[in-house]
Structure 1
Amino acid sequence: MTEIHGSCDPAFESVRGLLQQQLAQGNEVGASLCVNIDGQNVVDLWGGHADAEKSKPWEKNTLTGIFSSTKAVVSIAAHILIDRGQLDPNERVATYWPEFAANGKEDIKVSHILSHSSGLPAWDGGDHARRDAGPGSQSAYQTSTYGHLVGELVRRISGKSLTQFIADEIADPLGADFHLGISEEDWPRTADIVPFPAEYAAAFNFDPESFLGKSAAGSALLPLLPNDPKFRKAENGSWGGFSNARALARIGSIVSLDGTVDGKKYLSPETLDAVMKEQIQGNDPILFVYMRYALGFGLPPGKDFRSVPEGDGICFWGGWGGSLLVMDRRRRMTIAYMMNKMEFRTIGCARAEEYVQDIYKNFDAKK
């Protein structure tokens, strides 16, 4: 029988059984799963292996590449500046970053960047590509540009790199094992990404001149990138984070606990109310799914999106292949799931859906 490690409140014991089942059936190679309620981890589980050969066990402190789940942490960095009055979502980006206004970008606001409606989902000839639609008129997920755009705002305002700001203001104060780029000394405890089957690679043969092709250029459409030494060393706020479920749940609890964790205030409830307001919705041409965007997070898109339940006070983000972070202010609950075996999905995965649904079922039964 596949061994699962960690702790689990008896009320959530079925979650342990589900993780064990997924590992035993080979749906998972290695994974960590954490549920934090009112600041306490009621589920903190891990198991499986950190490599495709299954020779290296997944340990308590194992890290893995989390792809775009990185963006959730980067968004919280921006929210901290908003809370301090240093960054105004309704202000033009060029107010903080004058050079940004070049090539017709002078009307793009901070809110457009944070809601993926800036019209800048791609790189083009050293500058940002533009959609025909104006900023704020349609979402187009900023796969590879989000981290740079938000990161430069952070640098212009704080004087710190995005990596340093996240370490100083979020990860270190929380004691959260999150890294934007990872040092060589941590590589021995970093799990290898196990990609989806090679036949899916044909899905990425986009016309390079098409909108979708341009948005894919330079993005994380190579599933093995987190295994590459050069990628591991880079600061990439779009998809270059390395962490585990325990650490991501700790960071996400900033949102779920109304901005205060262990007595330290990171955000005010009023700021959270503001950044969780819907900015734009519709079928995202990059993610191929219907999305509702707030400032830096997704909001529950509806009953057909099984990774996140419907309801007020809930926001989320996830990473390519399956990782997921759900933050629920009404229940004061954070769910984080990190794994190394990728599924061919842009947001969440079938396993994440099962875990989340089981967790909510247990939470509601516990009340």
Structure 2
Amino acid sequence: MSVPASSSEPLPAGSAPVTSPVAGGRPAATPSSIPLSGECDARFGKVRDVLARNMAAGDEVGCAVAVTVDGHPVVDLWAGYQDAARTVPWEAHTITDMKSVGKSIFALSVLRLVGQGVIDLDAPVARYWPDFAQGGKAELPVRLLLGHLAGLPYADAAPVGSLYTPGVLSAALAAQTPEWPPGTQHCYHSFTFPPLCAELVRHASGRSAHDYHLDEIATPLGAEYWLGLDDAQQPLCAHYIETPGTPSLEGMKRVTTSPLYRAWRPLPRDEDYNSVAWRRYAGHGNARGMARIYAALAMGGTIDGYEVLSADVLREATAATWQGQDFMTKRPFSMGLGFMLPGPSFAIGQGARNFGHPGMGGAIAFADPDRRMSFAYSPNRMSPVSDIGPWATALIEAVYACVD
């Protein structure tokens, strides 16, 4: 049975409002006035209660959380506001920048092409993208690219701020010489992974990453997550709120000695992740959409009779490729092919075989294949944390308390 989540319902005891740093130090809205809507199966009522507590604490602005079991939605909730001033309520189809959660969806497109026989994991990337052979990369295989082992965290030939200039980043990546011999260094490709995957998809399929994902994944699944937005989707976006002090953000924009700063040099330094250009470039969606995609993966790659990814390729992609300290962030990671696996830095839920991807500031999506369950969380305020943060963690713990 699904129970509507109405904003008129009282929040749990102990949810007193606190000072909100996002709103310039003013007290957060009273708990009973914070919008909270959607549906939640009665079995998962604890998730709704935790979401209400999260919102009442005052640091969250707006977000959505979704859970599926056996491909069926059991939690589909949204709460709070689309803007920092807390004047525009979050709505059912509000979307936001889910940050690096989208890396797994870029990887999924490549993996789907592997399952379709278009791409071979052990073939050189240059077989599909001939210009990629420059800089000693002629034999670099697709497998290493998907495993964050290509040695290509930088695109040094792309000038500062050039991200939105057509062709510049692609040419820079094609010309880049690996920073070290491919396969020898664990390095999360924080900036370059999406464009590397996008170019591989474009050259192998003849379609842009946006179009391939739209045609092959988003539309067949009815999933509200897209790799770059069309103009008609832009008004659906919540305002994204940067938070100074977020470790990765500081490295990307302010700490000039950080490898993240060098990696992200093509991003305009004044980009706040709300420009039309950024929204056309990056992945955006909501928890419902991401949970739908991961629902298919939680059930072996197929949902409602539609094969998103072959079971064999999924099995290979979610096996550990490496475990160890990441060069870029100096944190311990566990990586598959485009998916993160449970490890010290990111719990990825509570299942031993879970896989998924977090995003800077707290967004996350993952599949739990043993429970045939998916989870996704999409906030519009960046939490100043180096892991997934307290809000998603509390929701995940509530989900597992309900299923276990």
Give, in whole Å, the separation in 2 of the partners of 1:147 and 1:202: 21
- 2:49, 2:271 → 1: CA distance? 28
Change beyond 3 A, Cα 1:179–1:202: closer
For 1:162 and 1:171, the matched residues in 2 are separated by: 12
Q: Give secondary structure in 2 for the equivalent of 1:274.
A: helix
Cα separation, 2, equivalents of 1:341 and 1:52:
8
C-alpha displacement at 1:188, in angstroms?
2.8
% identical aligned pairs: 33
Deviation at 1:181, TM superposition (A): 2.0
2:378 alignment partner, SS class:
strand
The secondary structure found in structure 2 opposite 1:299 is coil
Q: How much does 1:133 deviate? A: 2.9
User: Which residue among 39, 62, 69 is the counterpart of 1:30?
Assistant: 62
Q: TM-score, normalised by structure 2?
A: 0.83
Alignment equivalent of 2:378, drawn from 332, 338, 343? 338
SS in 2 for 1:28: coil
Matched letter for residue 54 of structure 1: R
Equivalent residue runs for 1:98-113 within 5 Å:
98-113=130-145
CA distance in 1, matches of 2:119, 2:297: 18
Is 2:265 the counterpart of 1:217? yes
The equivalent of 2:27 in structure 1 is none
Structure 2: gaps (5+ residues): 1-31, 159-171
Q: Is the alpha carbon distance of 1:331 and 1:202 closer, same or farther for their aligned partners in structure 2, counting shifts above 3 Å?
A: closer
Alpha-carbon spacing, 1:211–1:23, altered in 2? closer, same or farther (3 Å): closer
1:322 aligns with 2:362: yes
Larger mean CA deviation between 115-124 and 266-275 belongs to 266-275
Aligned AA (2:146): L
Partner of 1:290: 332
Please say if 1:301 is aligned against 2:348: no
The CA distance in 2 between the partners of 1:66 and 1:219, in whole Å, is 17
Higher relative contact order (CA 8 A, sep 6+): 1
Out of 150, 166, 187, the position equivalent to 1:118 is 150
Structure 1 residue 249 displacement after superposition: 0.5
1:259-298 alignment runs, 5 A limit:
259-298=301-340
CA distance in 1, matches of 2:316, 2:97: 30
**1:359 and 2:399 are equivalent in the alignment:** yes
Shift of 1:310: 4.8
Aligned with residue 256 of structure 2, among 207, 220, 226? 207
After superposition, the C-alpha distances for 1:151-202 in whole angstroms (9 at most, x for unaligned) are: 1111111111111000000000011122222233333321001221479775
Which amino acid in 2 is paired with 1:251? I
Q: Residue 195 of structure 1 aligns with which residue?
A: 242
Structure 1 residues 199 and 183, CA, compared in 2 at 3 Å: closer, same or farther?
closer
Cα distance, 1:245–1:53 mapped onto 2, change above 3 Å: same
Matched, 1:311 2:311: no
Distance 1:35 1:221, change over 3 A: farther
CA distance in 2, matches of 1:47, 1:56: 11
Contact 1:195/1:223 (<8 A) preserved: no
Amino acid at match of 1:206: V
Q: What is the root-mean-square deviation of aligned Cα atoms in Å? A: 2.1
Secondary structure of 1:67's counterpart equals coil
> Are the structure 2 counterparts of residues 252 and 19 from structure 1 closer, same or farther at C-alpha, using a change threshold of 3 Å?
same
2:291 maps to: 249
Letter paired with 2:349 = V
Partner Cα distance (1:348, 1:130) in 2: 33
Cα distance in 1 for partners of 2:386, 2:125 equals 28
Does the CA-based 8 Å contact 1:255-1:272 persist in structure 2?
yes
The amino acid across from 2:323 in the alignment is: Q
Q: Which runs of 5+ in 1 are unaligned?
A: 235-239
Counterpart of 2:355, as a letter, is C
The DSSP-based 3-state class of the residue aligned with 1:207 is coil
Q: Which digits, 9 at most, give the CA deviation of each residue in 1:233-285, with x for residues without a partner?
A: 33xxxxx1110000111111221111111111222222211111111121112
Give the partner amino acid of 2:264: A
Cα distance in 1, alignment partners of residues 271 and 356 from structure 2: 22
Instruction: Describe how 1:40-189 pairs up with structure 2 within 5 A.
Output: 40-126=72-158, 127-128=172-173, 129-130=176-177, 132-189=179-236
For residue 339 of structure 1, report the CA deviation from its aligned partner.
0.7
Q: How many aligned residue pairs are there?
A: 355
Using the TM superposition, give the Cα deviation of residue 216 of structure 1 relative to its aligned residue in structure 2, in angstroms.
Answer: 3.0
Paired with 1:120 and 1:172, the residues of 2 have a C-alpha distance of 32
